[in-house]
């Protein structure tokens, strides 16, 4: 595995000759309750990208650590970008990778807000229509949901809850506070709110007190395995 940002221009050019898959981690700088760091959504896909790239002899592109936010945009520490900026950024990066000879790209988002995801998908579709590229896009959290019952997270677990807290405890335990509680989501129905953060009174959803590093490692390994298999199947990568 090699991170593109750590390579020289010559090293990168040589690596491109073997037609590698490039993994682009997309995160966010966003409030995740009182117990998790603002970089939670970036730490997770970065760790997965590094682990998967190691297995498939791929390259990891510099992470994008800003995203589009709705429900947390007014909470302290959330630093977001507009949906149009996010879309343009993805298009620009994919076009630049294409100019450099990259033809296989996997985008892994650690932030899965609906508008955020829609903008990235739209950007990917735009680029795929115009260029000869294979692009895979997903949120690692969606894969992790396959273990929700096994690790005891419960059906109501979500943003900053047991699953995310456990994963960060396995990746960056030094950044997870010990005083963890339970957060709830209060539905506003179909109303479009100017202050959607009121739906998250504690700033997170789920029982973070149940989080543990063992569950986090199990989740991270599970996601790594699933994404590695997907790359080998859908992109024909055998290394």
Q: Does a structural domain hold residue 181?
A: no
Number of domains in the chain: 1
Q: Does a structural domain hold residue 94?
A: yes
C-alpha distances out from residue 3 to 7, 20, 49, Å:
7, 12, 10
Q: What is the pLDDT of residues 124-147, one digit of tens each?
A: 999 999 998 999 999 999 999 999
pLDDT at 238 over 80: no
Q: Does a structural domain hold residue 111?
A: yes
Q: Which domain holds residue 18?
A: 2-149+220-234
pLDDT at 42 over 90: yes
- Residue 226 sits in a domain whose CATH number is 3.40.50.10310
Cβ distance 58 to 44 under 8 Å?
A: no
Q: Does a structural domain hold residue 224?
A: yes
| Burial of 148: CB neighbours in 10 Å, binned 0-12, 13-18, 19+ | middle
Residue ranges of alpha helices (H) inside the chain are: 9-16, 40-56, 83-99, 114-130, 140-144, 162-171, 213-234
- pLDDT of 1 reads 61
Q: What is the pLDDT of residues 216-237, one digit of tens each?
A: 999 999 999 999 999 999 888 7
pLDDT at 27 over 80: yes
Q: Does a structural domain hold residue 172?
A: no
Q: Does a structural domain hold residue 211?
A: no
- pLDDT of 132 reads 87
What is the percent of the chain with per-residue pLDDT over 90, rounded to a whole number?
Answer: 88
Q: Does a structural domain hold residue 160?
A: no
């Amino acid at each position: 595995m090699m991170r593109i940002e750590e390579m020289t221009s010559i090293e990168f050019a040589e690596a491109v000759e073997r037609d590698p898959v490039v993994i682009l981690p997309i995160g966010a700088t966003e409030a995740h309750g009182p117990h998790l760091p603002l970089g939670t959504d970036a730490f997770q896909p970065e760790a997965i990208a590094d682990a998967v790239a190691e297995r498939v002899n791929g390259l990891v592109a510099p992470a994008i650590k800003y995203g589009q936010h709705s429900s947390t945009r007014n909470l302290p520490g959330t630093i977001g970008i507009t949906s149009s900026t996010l879309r343009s950024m993805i298009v620009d990066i994919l076009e630049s990778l294409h100019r450099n000879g990259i033809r296989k790209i996997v985008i892994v988002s650690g932030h899965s807000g609906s508008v955020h995801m829609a903008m990235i998908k739209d950007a990917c579709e735009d680029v795929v229509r115009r260029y000869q590229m294979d692009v895979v896009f997903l949120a690692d959290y969606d894969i992790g949901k396959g273990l929700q019952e096994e690790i005891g997270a419960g059906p109501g677990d979500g943003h900053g809850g047991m699953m995310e807290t456990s994963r960060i405890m396995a990746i960056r335990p030094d950044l997870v506070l010990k005083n963890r509680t339970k957060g709830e989501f209060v539905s506003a129905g179909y109303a479009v709110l100017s202050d959607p953060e009121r739906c998250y009174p504690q700033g997170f959803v789920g029982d973070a007190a149940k989080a543990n590093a063992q569950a986090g490692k199990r989740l991270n390994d599970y996601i790594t395995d699933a994404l590695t298999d997907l790359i080998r199947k859908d992109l024909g990568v055998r290394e």
